[in-house]
Amino acid sequence: SGESGAGKTESAKLLLQHIMNLCKGNSQLEQQILQVNPLLEAFGNAQTVMNDNSSRFGKYLQLRFQKNTVQGAKLSEYLLEKSRVVQQDTGERNFHIFYYMFAGLSSEEKEMYGLLDPSLYRYISGQYGTQEVVQRWKHKYQEVCNALDMVGFQEQEQVDMQAILSGVLSLGNVTFVSEESNGSVKVSESSQGWLKAAAVSHMHSLKKHYRYDASSHCPPWSPSVSCCCSLCTDARDSVAKVAYSRVFGWIVCKINELLAENVDPEVELREIGILDIFGFENFAVNRFEQLCINLANEQLQHFFNHHIFQLEQAAYKEEELPWETIPFNNNEPVLNLLLAKPLGLLSLLDEQSAFPQATDKTFVDKLNRSFKGNLYFQPGRGHVLGFSIVHYAGKVQYTAGGFLEKNRDTLPASIRGLFINSVTPLLSMLFTGKVLHTGLLRVLYLARMSVFVYPHQHSLMVLMERMYSANPHFVRCIKPNSKKEPGVLDRQLVLQQLRYNGLLETVRIRRDGFSWRPSFEEFVER
């Protein structure tokens, strides 16, 4: 754990290499486990203002052992930041894979996928890179291709996947205009070419789907046209986000097929899990995604406190050792604010998401009424619709725009049907399958939950259940400076992290407590 850019992903890779080196097991399997990283980073990482290679999802790698030899592995992914596909803030980029494709594909391949100059695409904000950066991306693209071959993706699957990604980019350039004669909305003439490129990539006729009858979708007043254009734009972005996240889930499934252990089911396997999850974030503009990320970090901090302070000190008291209780910064009140039922922030968000008439403003109004006087909640100031939460790592101001839509995370049934009927086998399969709540795609997964929980929340619940059932070791990553510079140590920034992570108290409990715990057998033998 640690802030965004503190080195969690690199530390996790080093830890994995170290474990692999120690167990001296199945060398081919070990190489495969190590080689899936370039693939995951290409599709799941992106440049942010805090980190040039920021994980935009959480991953939990379970290594399965028999007699100290790795027999298999399983990867779970959590909370992929889908919204990045359609929108990035200033100084940020889309997922790496889009830039790698532009840099690595030949002219003939770009023509085949209908890709034009990268500066034309809205979903990558018309940004590209310097010649030096493009060369690096070209090398990365080759790494991705090698990893795809190694994992076992067929050539046609790779072609279909890149066609889907190209179609996503073209779809982002489709715009809409109103037809004044009958009040419906259609694709603008200027973007017909982009629609055709997206349809060819996705092997569809999307054209007729993007015609909306204003009278049936919008209230009867003058802004109805802009309302319907907005509906079409939202539907377009929903398609792009879902298509990308399904591709990502499918890649994880293929990796798991490759790494699955091939042993007798009766044999008991031991397990080491490595959790590498996005770090605490506080940007100039913080949205729904930052709230999910910071909630995950808030829960992990509570988990750390529970093990290092509460369980440790309870053990000393139980053994009646002379012990003066060490106080620590307990973040339970913040978690109650966010997770309590029925009046926590997320419960209120779910309640508002269930009302068709609710808006982001009605949601914020409800928060202001419900949490008036709460020390960890502050209403928004000025004209920006939002609120602030005082997290364990500091106060974060959230912009509430888009909260309800992102929490609902729905795809119109008619659009889903369109993809199921695609003549591209991969695309049809991705939309026929169900997505498990850890983010893993499973074709024809039919389980139903008795109570509906929004996917991002269930994803976190599953993750925390796994954490609490394990024997944890904590790797705390400390960010040396905010400038992404090597060899520079900002003492104030480092001290701030040591404080809010509870590491100063951890040092004290380790120094004053009993850090070496031999078993009775070891003690007697000695």
Phi, psi of 454 (to 5 degrees): -60, 140
Looking at the structure, do residues 262 and 309 belong to the same domain, yes or no? no
The pLDDT, as a whole number, for residue 222 is 35
Whether the per-residue pLDDT at 143 is higher than 90: the answer is yes
What Cα–Cα distance (Å) separates residue 524 from each residue in 149, 474, 519, 520? 54, 30, 9, 6
CATH of the domain at 508: 1.20.58.530
State which residues form the domain around 245.
8-171+237-281+407-469
Looking at the structure, do residues 260 and 337 belong to the same domain, yes or no? no
Whether the per-residue pLDDT at 263 is higher than 90: the answer is no
Q: Would you say residue 177 lies in a domain?
A: no
Whether the per-residue pLDDT at 450 is higher than 50: the answer is no
What burial letters (b/e) apply to 118-129, b meaning 16+ CB within 10 Å? beebebbeeebb
Rounded Cα–Cα distance for residues 298 and 338 (Å):
10
The pLDDT, as a whole number, for residue 445 is 30
| Bind-site residues | 2-9
- Which residues are 169's β-sheet partners? none
Looking at the structure, do residues 443 and 483 belong to the same domain, yes or no? no
Whether the per-residue pLDDT at 224 is higher than 60: the answer is no
Q: Would you say residue 182 lies in a domain?
A: no
Looking at the structure, do residues 276 and 292 belong to the same domain, yes or no? no
The pLDDT, as a whole number, for residue 393 is 93
Task: Give the residue numbers marked as catalytic.
Answer: 4-5, 9, 51, 54-55, 279, 281
Count Cβ atoms below 10 Å from residue 451 Cβ, excluding itself. 5
Cα torsion 167, 168, 169, 171: sign: positive
Per residue in 180-211, pLDDT tens? 777 688 889 999 999 888 887 765 434 444 44
Rounded Cα–Cα distance for residues 518 and 404 (Å):
53
Per residue in 236-249, pLDDT tens? 898 899 999 999 99
Question: Poorest-confidence range of 106-115, 201-210, 385-394?
Answer: 201-210
Looking at the structure, do residues 390 and 515 belong to the same domain, yes or no? yes
Rounded Cα–Cα distance for residues 121 and 110 (Å):
14
- Which residues are 58's β-sheet partners? 78
Looking at the structure, do residues 154 and 296 belong to the same domain, yes or no? no
Per residue in 460-507, pLDDT tens? 788 888 888 888 999 999 999 999 899 999 999 999 999 998 999 999
| Bind-site residues for ATP | 2-9
Looking at the structure, do residues 18 and 50 belong to the same domain, yes or no? yes
Rounded Cα–Cα distance for residues 232 and 212 (Å):
8
Per residue in 10-33, pLDDT tens? 999 999 989 988 887 556 888 888
CATH of the domain at 417: 3.40.850
Rounded Cα–Cα distance for residues 497 and 64 (Å):
33
Question: Predicted confidence band at 291 (pLDDT cuts at 50, 70, 90)?
Answer: very high
Could you please report the per-residue DSSP string of 56-121? SSEEEEEEEEETTEEEEEEEEEE---GGGGT---TT---BHHHHHHHHHS-HHHHHHHT---GGG-
Looking at the structure, do residues 149 and 78 belong to the same domain, yes or no? yes
Per residue in 349-374, pLDDT tens? 999 999 989 999 999 999 999 999 99
Whether the per-residue pLDDT at 90 is higher than 70: the answer is yes
Domain count, the chain: 2
Cα torsion 51, 238, 440, 472: sign: positive
pTM for the complete prediction?
0.86
The pLDDT, as a whole number, for residue 185 is 84
